[in-house]
Amino acid sequence: MRARLGDDIDDYCVKCKRVMNHLVVSLLNDEPAKVRCRTCHGDHDFRHEQAPPPKVDPRKAALALEKAAAAAARAAAETLPTDGELPADVMPEEA
């Protein structure tokens, strides 16, 4: 079925952040180009009912990697003996 101006279609709304009813307000090559949300009345490009990919803040990602590395280093330091002796469960067998 071909879309026409004023038709109701479902699309992802960037303001509402969910798939909502939209009106077709612009066509390009018989495909909806721009739509208007019937809930918030926001105009945006037709997104074919697909949400945009999540944004990753580079500062937060770097901080998370730094914290993970610090936690791994702490865990490794806790498992190694500090006084030069081997733990009881890894004592070498006497021959």
The pLDDT value recorded for residue 21 is 92
The C-alpha atoms of residue 83 and residue 87 are separated, in whole angstroms, by 10
What would you report as the CA-atom Rg of the chain, rounded to the nearest whole angstrom? 29
The C-alpha atoms of residue 21 and residue 9 are separated, in whole angstroms, by 6
- Tokens encoding 11: 């699309």
Which tens digit of pLDDT belongs to each residue from 15-53? Answer: 988 999 999 999 998 899 999 999 999 999 998 888 878
Give the CA-trace dihedral at 81, 83, 88, 92, to 10 degrees.
Answer: 90
The whole-model pTM stands at: 0.54
Q: Indicate the domain borders of the chain.
A: 8-45
Which tens digit of pLDDT belongs to each residue from 69-90? Answer: 999 888 887 765 556 565 556 5
The C-alpha atoms of residue 89 and residue 20 are separated, in whole angstroms, by 61
When pLDDT is cut at 50, 70 and 90, the band that residue 95 belongs to is: low
